Copies of this chain bind each other. A is one copy, B any other.
Amino acid sequence: MKHITSQDIQEMKKVYRLNLINSCTGYKSANLIATRSKAGIPNVAVFSSITHIGSEPAMLGFVTRPLTVARNTYKNIKETSYFTVNHIHEEMIQKAHQTAAKYDEEISEFEKTGLEEEYLNDFQAPYVKQSEIKLGCKFLNEYEIKENDTLLIVAAIEHIYFDEGIQMPDGWLRLDDAGTVAVNGLDGYSLPSLLDRFHYARPGQEVRSFFSQKSN
């Protein structure tokens, strides 16, 4: 096995380090965050840091740098409190990746990429029409991560949209039925397929699959 130390990491060239460190923590969620400024300009940008924060109340979080390419997203969220989270699917990966380009603030990435805006139930922020799972979120709080001046944004999940066919009777959304992708590093888009789903683990009991009688 190759062994890389802190010292090695510090001495790496910037892009090499970005590629290694962004891929070494495993797969990341692949989502588009869409917002609309007070002036009415929509914005959409790819994010791989969206993660589950809690179910009761329903909340998600994501990490951002306020002054990088995500600055329009951040500014719009702070101005309006609202944003949407839209899954990226296999057919959309080029369009989704293109949202990472540094467009000027007055330009809508929707126009430039072919992603389509969709407004649902008078929500302030646009959804992405091509997404099969989409969330309407409201900003709750931000936490400054002092170690590198990033922010953890925490938000309430207020609306969830999805095709009924991908939901199991116990509430779970089967993401491979929606063709949702995952991100490998900064720029790799991967398509997962379900291996198995397991019942709640208990000491002294073998792990049991939802899909068969096999116990191991």
Contact = CB atoms under 8 A, between A and B. Distances in A.
A140 B47 CA distance: 24
* Chain A contact surface mostly: mixed
Contact of A192 (B10, B97, B156, B182): B182
A94 B5 contact: no
Give the number of copies in the complex.
Answer: 2
A52 B1 contact: no
Q: How extensive is the interface on chain A, given as a class?
A: 35 or more
B55 A21 contact: yes
A163 B99 contact: no
Interface of A: 1-6, 9-10, 12, 14-31, 48-61, 63, 85, 87, 90, 93-94, 97-103, 107, 112, 120-121, 133, 135, 140-141, 143, 145-148, 150, 152, 154, 156-164, 167-168, 170-176, 180-182, 184-185, 187-203, 205-207, 210, 216
